[in-house]
Amino acid sequence: MVGEPQDDCLFCKIAAGQIPADVVRETETTLAFRDISPQAPTHVLVIPKVHHRDAASLAAAEPAIAAELLREAGQVAGEEKLESYRIVFNTGSGAGQTVFHAHAHVMGGRGMQWPPG
């Protein structure tokens, strides 16, 4: 069910502390941890603790948590001293989403191209 922990979801398990992660920030509703396969000098994922399949679904169902997620992404960027950075929400497998639990990628510390690949 939407919002309920999913047995087969990696990020639900990380949120529950069942799988370890390199946590950098935590709030009542969100968790930020370093990506296991960083694509930039700073690459942190910010997830809601509740399960929704993507960022838009989260925002539709729980807008306050979606706002908190974005606020936390900014806090991560500040703590990592990123002057410029990118917040990415891959949505759908064609766009590169591999974990179907909403998450923001906070990436920075190197130059970035536009448009993204």
Q: What are the residue numbers of the active site?
A: 103
Give the CB-side neighbour count of residue 107, counting CA atoms within 13 A. 18
- For ligand AMP, which residue of 5, 6, 9, 35 counts as binding (CB under 6 A)? 35
- For ligand AMP, which residue of 53, 57, 97, 109 counts as binding (CB under 6 A)? 97
CA distances in angstroms from 32 to 42, 94, 111, 115, listed in the order given: 12, 25, 23, 26
Residues 18-57 that bind Zn ion (CB under 5 A): 51
Q: What count of other Cβ atoms lies within 10 Å of the Cβ of residue 52?
A: 21
Burial class of residue 69 in the structure, from the number of CB atoms within 10 Å of its CB (0-12 exposed, 13-18 middle, 19+ buried)? buried
Nearer to Zn ion, 9 or 70 (CB): 9
- For Zn ion, which residue of 43, 101, 103, 105 counts as binding (CB under 5 A)? 101
Q: Mask: binding to ligand AMP, 1-20, rule CB under 6 A, as x and -?
A: ---------x----------
